[in-house]
A = this chain, B = another copy of it.
């Protein structure tokens, strides 16, 4: 790979990697609606608080979320609304795959 392109792809990969986990996708989706504190997100995810905290750190390091303390809770919010479009594309990939799968299924029934 051309050395000049490497940092570019590494930066992008970091963001995608940060999103590439079921629990983190749930968190992202919930944060699209409104901000939530760690406690609330922990309940939604259904894992240990420390686990969710680490997921949030991953998202924060990737620049996807921001946090802010208010009273004695730390609230997280999404930093980029475009992530919604992102998911539309992911769904399209899934849809195309599903279509193929259907074809295969039909083919087998014959």
Contacts and interface: CB of A to CB of B under 8 A. Distances in A.
A13 B17 contact: no
A99 B60 CA distance: 15
Interface residues of A, number: 42
B87 A80 contact: no
A37 interface: no
Nearest to A82: B89
Contact of A96 (B11, B13, B79): B79
A26 B83 CA distance: 21
Interface string A1-24: 100011001111101110111111
Query: Which of A17, A20, A93, A94: most chain B CB closer than 10 A?
Result: A93
Contacts of A17: 16-17, 20-21
Contacts of A94: 11-12, 15, 63
Contacts of A97: 63
Interface of A: 1, 5-6, 9-13, 15-17, 19-26, 44-46, 62-64, 79-80, 82-83, 85-94, 96-97, 100
